[in-house]
Chain A
Amino acid sequence: MKIKEQLRFHARPLIIGAIAAVLAAGLWFGFGPRPAPVGVSLSDIPFYKLPFGPDETGADRPFYPSRLKTGTGLMSDPSRLPSSAECAACHAQEFEEWAASLHAIADRDLVYEAVVEANEDSAHHPEQARFCEGCHAPNEMLSGRVNRFTSVAPADALTEGVACITCHTATHADPQKGNGDITLAYDRAEAERDGPQGAALLADPRAHLAAYGAPDTAALMKSADLCGACHTEIYDASNSKAETSQTVQSTYREWGESWYAQNGVTCQDCHMADDPAAQVMALREGDLSKPARYSHRIIGANHVMADTGLGDALSVLRGGLLPGLSAAVNHATLNEQARQTEAFLRTAAGLDLRGQSATAEGLHIDIAVQNLGAGHNLPTGVNDQKHIWLEVVLKDASGAEVFRSGGGAERLVAEDPEAVVWIEHFLAPDGSRLTDHLTFDTAKVAWIRKPIPARGEDVVGYDITLPQGAQGPFRLEARLNYKIALPDLIYTSLRRDLGVPSFTLAELSVELDGLAP
């Protein structure tokens, strides 16, 4: 059979082109530049101390007492870790959102740094601070910079707290064990950075997507497990003076037992919603729709660290400007962070008058403190600092104050022993209270008043003795106030007598009918 003329003509260039391309590609891939090996052996980090010895299998524990792990068992070369500022070249919106978050400054926050140093001072081995830095400074941890002797060169990526690469390379998380039990595949970040960048990356983004959006990572980033691995904190003999396990932060477990978990509402659905307050209000109405877009602001409960009203003090508290961030963008994104944080906090709680009755001495009132919008306890987190309290004021017909509980003293930065407060106390081995977050000295943790579970409430009763001559009708004014830290912490850490602004989560103002004496 005769071969068609066109095939005969074109077979030659097709074969020649194919052979030439195979040879060229083969030569290039065979003899061209090889990818640099990723990872740094622990033994290659000068003076890296392992004071706590190996684990029960004899393996090194480079991050102990944090439970942080690397996928390869190797450390990272800091010069090859991309900083979030580099990610901003293409992901500017995500970067600017993240830059205002607490995650971005988790390792720069001045108070945090001071508290870590205070804890180091109280520990026999300063490497015990790896317990804190596992969650607060994974880039530093994985580079071997969290050490008694700093022998690893600085890099932009190491100044960031929970950075882009942290979540976007996470491959495993154990929220039950907590204490930073996350496995990070920073080798993916190192390898990807050696590959095509810029225009070439955009033309073929598969390597980039494989490094930062691998199926295991993508699934984990949608899961509460990733958050829970750091937002579950347990003190034991490895990191404190506790003889028995003390659960200090149980946000993940609180969520796991809540209506939110049962209905598939994750941490990300609220804290990373484009409009977190609107998302929570919709959930309060029973609307389980997922956010149309997820933001990288990771809105939480710290309204102080985004309060641009603090002026330059805020920049100092936040540890200065992040790499790649201009002052103008920083200011704008912090303003938006503050707005969203305040709106978010206002969705969390409610106050309701549940009962009022006359007594021989005066009045009895019951106020329900409701957790309306938080998908975990109220308050949650590490609550030796973060706390809420009720401020209750009763005024008579003339407007004179006839009763007060909480509020005044608290607002003046001292604690009011009479106030109804939801707080936990860190106790030293001798039973004395530690007010400055000395984790390593803590032996026991005790709640003064149990926190309020998601969609739950705590009814607080007040027996009010009315002064002689007090005339009704009486007006009850109640506020649920929230404070991010105790003044002692700021004083001890920064040696400054700075008041910590409080935030009113919910208010109640009601006239008490039929109780006029």
Chain B
Amino acid sequence: MGQAISQPAFTRVVLQRSSRHGGGSRRSYFLSLLISGLFITGLAIWLWPQGAASHALVLWLHLAAGGVLAGLLLPWLWTHVPRGLCTSQRRVFTQSSWVVLGFWSVLLVSGMVAALPAIIWGVGLVWFPPREISDGLSFVHFWSSWGAVAGLGLHLAQRHWVWGAQ
């Protein structure tokens, strides 16, 4: 008989309000939709001709969806990480989950910093980092997205319980 896990009041409320299906909630379902959409649009932005006018629409969609994802994912992780990782019974799951979380942190932070000049432009100011930083952010954002998506797949597929353990 395992011990009951104490949950903060906030977490309990979120869990209760999430309409749970087997394996996930409506929110996590929506997050998965966003994640795959963002990955594909990000890939398109990276690969397609950057000077094309059509590039701008995809870029704006990617930025908007990225903003929504960040807004939804961060509070979701706030509850999911303490709840999920604390119940993990497998060391390999725990460790890989931290790595996945690392990829996601890098992905979100690099995306938000990269979008910062555009946001600042929106309020009438001009600021942008030096080219080396800008190039570095693009590079990190792109490659961390592969780690984040692959890691998410692994995270979803990997069992966090030990066979035969109670």
Contacts and interface: CB of A to CB of B under 8 A. Distances in A.
B17 interface: no
A31 to B, nearest CB: 9
A198 B121 contact: yes
Contacts of A124: none
Interface stretch (B3-11, B42-50, B71-79, B100-108): B42-50
A7 B23 contact: yes
B22 A13 contact: no
A357 to B, nearest CB: 61
Interface string A4-42: 111111111111111011100100110011110000000
A6 B48 CA distance: 33
Interface string B107-134: 0000000110111111000101001001
Given A6-B24, A14-B35, A18-B39, A209 B54 contact: no
Nearest to B134: A205
A147 B89 CA distance: 81
B32 A10 contact: yes
A9 B29 contact: yes
B115 A203 contact: yes
- Interface size range of chain B in the complex: 35 or more
Interface string B54-92: 111111100100000000000000000000000000000
B49 A35 contact: yes
Interface string B20-54: 01111000111011111111110011001111111
Contact of B37 (A8, A18, A198, A203): A18
A483 B143 CA distance: 59
Nearest to B127: A202
Contact of A207 (B36, B44, B50, B118): B50
Interface string A295-331: 0000000000000000000000000000000000000
B158 interface: yes
A209 B134 contact: yes
Contacts of A32: 54, 57
Given A18-B36, A20-B37, A209-B131, A33 B22 contact: no
A254 interface: no
B42 to A, nearest CB: 9
Nearest to A15: B36
B34 A209 contact: no
A5 B23 contact: yes
B57 A9 contact: no
A25 B51 contact: no
Contacts of A207: 50-51, 55
A204 interface: yes
A191 interface: yes
A194 B51 contact: yes
Contacts of A203: 59, 63, 114-115, 117-118
A204 B45 contact: yes
B53 A9 contact: no
Contact of B52 (A9, A20, A35, A204): A35
B157 interface: yes
A200 B118 contact: yes
Contacts of B28: 9-10
Contact of A13 (B33, B45, B122): B33
A472 interface: no
A195 B52 contact: yes
Contacts of A4: 23, 156-159
Contacts of B120: 202
Contact of B23 (A6, A21, A28, A192): A6
Interface in A170-192: 191-192
Nearest to A218: B131
A155 B82 CA distance: 62
A210 B50 contact: yes
A84 to B, nearest CB: 16
A199 B138 contact: no
Contact of B40 (A13, A22, A192, A200): A22
A29 to B, nearest CB: 6
B53 A195 contact: yes
B107 to A, nearest CB: 15
A206 interface: yes
A194 B32 CA distance: 34
B26 to A, nearest CB: 10
Nearest to B138: A206
Contacts of A198: 121
A499 interface: no
A90 B50 CA distance: 19
Nearest to A92: B126
Given A28-B54, A29-B48, A90 B126 contact: yes
Contacts of A90: 126, 128
A202 to B, nearest CB: 4
Given A10-B156, A195-B50, A202 B55 contact: no
Nearest to B157: A7
Best-surrounded residue of A28, A203, A209, A211 (most CB of chain B within 10 A): A203
Contact of B53 (A17, A25, A35, A211): A35
Contacts of B58: 25, 28-29
A14 B32 CA distance: 5
A204 B35 contact: no
Given A4-B156, A204-B50, A25 B41 contact: yes
Contacts of B24: 6, 9-10
13 contacts: A10-B156, A12-B29, A18-B36, A21-B44, A25-B41, A25-B44, A28-B54, A33-B52, A192-B51, A200-B56, A203-B63, A203-B115, A205-B134
Interface of B: 21-24, 28-30, 32-41, 44-45, 48-60, 63, 114-115, 117-122, 126, 128, 131, 134-135, 138, 153, 156-159
What are the 7 A-B residue pairs with the smallest beta carbon separation, nearest first? A9-B23, A17-B36, A207-B50, A21-B40, A202-B117, A13-B32, A5-B23
Given A4-B23, A90-B128, A213-B131, 8 more contacts: A11-B156, A17-B34, A20-B37, A21-B37, A35-B52, A92-B126, A196-B56, A206-B138
